[in-house]
Amino acid sequence: MVEVKINDEVKVGGNNPCFIIAEVGQNHQGDIEIAKRLIKAAKDAGANCVKFQKTCLKEKFTKKYLERPYDNPNSWGKTYGEHKRHLEFSESQYRELFKYAHEVGILCTASAMDMVSFDFLVNMKVPFIKIGSGDSNNLLFLKYAASKQVPLIISTGMVDKSAVKTIYDIISAQHKNFCLLHCISAYPVPYEDCNLTVIQDYMNTFDIPIGYSGQEIGTAVALASVALGAKVLEKHITLEKTMKGTDHVCSLTPPEFQQLVRDVRVIENALGTPIKKVVTSEIPCIDKLQKSLVMGCTKNKGEILYPGDVKIKVAEPKGLNALHFEEVIYKTLVYDKKEDEPLNQGDFC
Ligand SMILES: CC(=O)N[C@H](C=O)[C@@H](O)[C@H](O)[C@H](O)COP(=O)(O)O
Ligand SMILES: C=C(OP(=O)(O)O)C(=O)O
């Protein structure tokens, strides 16, 4: 089983439980206290990791793009640059957040939105680096990231399968310590666009752990992704869905995130084995309600049991398991038997 090693204790893929990432992204609204509350909420919800987004604005965007007006209800500034600057934490704030996450006891990292941010996160010694869908076509960056030999979790929104194969080839040329996440980059994703069965296609194509980064509303699709085999699950977390910001609408509140984690663990437990067998917990129901072979009428020793003479009923005491019906027909009774009496091995020959 392929596994990605995040650190000495945490491995992703193979038989390990699904690695659940609470994506704060920019839902902190540029406020470190909200960011801390989200870290704590992620921990309390049972997430395995909490994640931010790290951007070096000059590196990720052109000057002109940053000067573009950003006039909408989710904007934190007149231009896109002002908006993004408001949402960006400084190095010392990141140090504070990582320290806080460490104290709270949850893994903490960020997506590197560009090469400068990637180096920043490497220096911060984060457990792994996420590469978001914004870089799924950024082959230069992917090559750079692969060369750094740190564990990577890479999202694949906004590109088709051939580009995903290219991402796989680029990283696996350097190492196999990475996962690919199926992702559709819309906020929120219409359910009919989730194309969740892509997860299975990735699992059939790539020999690395596959996961899902979900931007759709609610938890149903995310839960289905785990049932389909996702070994990493990322969902946005927010304190309040009505807060200002592009991603709150497709985020989960702390109680919803907690329910998600609980349900993921139930699903993993329930997936069990593909071997169909009778399990111990079924025994009371077998005893109470499973049908067995009984006499359909009264017959005497030496008489032949014709098809209509044997019935299948819930009986007390039980007769032979009803699956043996065909073996009993046309056999001779060894004892006298009354209607409804159970038929057992040794009652016929
Ligand atoms: C593709 C990508 O990066 N997506 C991220 C992860 O899901 C998002 O959180 C964006 O940063 C966010 O939606 C941007 O919103 P605005 O443009 O209002 O800052
Ligand atoms: C954009 C990101 O993720 P995704 O593509 O998985 O939504 C991210 O993690 O910053």
ipTM: 0.98
Please tell me if the CB atom of residue 185 comes closer than 6 angstroms to any atom of ligand 1: yes
Using the mean position of ligand 1's atoms as its centre, give its distance from the Cα of residue 268 in Å: 30
Please tell me if the CB atom of residue 214 comes closer than 6 angstroms to any atom of ligand 1: no
- The residue among 237, 271, 305 that closes a domain is 271
- Closest ligand 2 atom, residue 157 Cα: 5
Indicate the residue type of 35. Answer: A
| Total number of domains constituting the chain | 2
Same structural domain, 249 and 309: no
Please tell me if the CB atom of residue 183 comes closer than 6 angstroms to any atom of ligand 2: yes
CA distance 19 to 56: 27
- The answer as to whether 240 is a domain residue is yes
Cis before 342? omega within 30: no
HSE toward the beta carbon, residue 13, CA cutoff 13 A: 22
- The answer as to whether 106 is a domain residue is yes
- The answer as to whether 6 is a domain residue is no
Q: Does pTM surpass 0.80?
A: yes
- The answer as to whether 154 is a domain residue is yes
Same structural domain, 163 and 296: no
- Closest ligand 2 atom, residue 234 Cα: 6
Using the mean position of ligand 2's atoms as its centre, give its distance from the Cα of residue 311 in Å: 62
Instruction: Please give the pLDDT value at position 1.
Output: 65
Cis before 274? omega within 30: no
Please tell me if the CB atom of residue 246 comes closer than 6 angstroms to any atom of ligand 1: yes
CA distance 93 to 236: 21
- The answer as to whether 81 is a domain residue is yes
Same structural domain, 21 and 100: yes
Nearest ligand, CA of residue 57? 1
Q: Which of 21, 26, 216 to mutate to test the pocket of ligand 1 (most atoms within 8 A of CB)?
A: 26
Minimum CA distance residue for ligand 2 atom 4: 132
Q: What is the CATH number of the domain that holds 95?
A: 3.20.20.70
Using the mean position of ligand 1's atoms as its centre, give its distance from the Cα of residue 239 in Å: 17
Same structural domain, 193 and 61: yes
Instruction: Please give the pLDDT value at position 76.
Output: 96
Please tell me if the CB atom of residue 133 comes closer than 6 angstroms to any atom of ligand 2: yes
Please tell me if the CB atom of residue 130 comes closer than 6 angstroms to any atom of ligand 2: yes
Q: Which of 24, 28, 50, 111 to mutate to test the pocket of ligand 2 (most atoms within 8 A of CB)?
A: 111
- The two three-digit tokens of residue 102, written as one number: 């460490």
- The residue among 231, 247, 271 that closes a domain is 271
Q: Which domain, by its residues, includes 329?
A: 277-349
- The answer as to whether 1 is a domain residue is no
Minimum CA distance residue for ligand 1 atom 3: 134
- The residue among 232, 253, 271 that closes a domain is 271
CA distance 292 to 229: 39
Question: Alpha carbon of 224 to those of 17, 196, 325: distances in Å?
Answer: 15, 8, 40
Using the mean position of ligand 2's atoms as its centre, give its distance from the Cα of residue 120 in Å: 18
Nearest ligand, CA of residue 22? 2
Instruction: Please give the pLDDT value at position 2.
Output: 82
Q: How far is CA 41 from the centre of its chain?
A: 19
- The answer as to whether 5 is a domain residue is no
Rg from Cα positions in the chain: 29
Please tell me if the CB atom of residue 188 comes closer than 6 angstroms to any atom of ligand 2: no
Minimum CA distance residue for ligand 1 atom 14: 246
List the pLDDT tens digit at each of the 349 positions of the chain. Answer: 689 999 999 999 999 999 999 999 999 999 999 999 999 999 999 999 999 999 999 999 999 999 999 999 999 999 999 999 999 999 999 999 999 999 999 999 999 999 999 999 999 999 999 999 999 999 999 999 999 999 999 999 999 999 999 999 999 999 999 999 999 999 999 999 999 999 999 999 999 999 999 999 999 999 999 999 999 999 999 999 999 999 999 999 999 999 999 999 999 999 999 999 999 999 999 999 999 999 999 999 999 999 999 999 999 999 999 999 999 999 999 999 999 999 999 999 9
Please tell me if the CB atom of residue 114 comes closer than 6 angstroms to any atom of ligand 1: no
- The answer as to whether 2 is a domain residue is no
- Closest ligand 2 atom, residue 133 Cα: 5
Q: What is the CATH number of the domain that holds 310?
A: 3.90.1210.10
DSSP string, 222-268: HHHHHHTT-SEEEEEB-S-TTSSSTTGGG-B-HHHHHHHHHHHHHHH
Same structural domain, 179 and 310: no
CA distance 208 to 39: 28
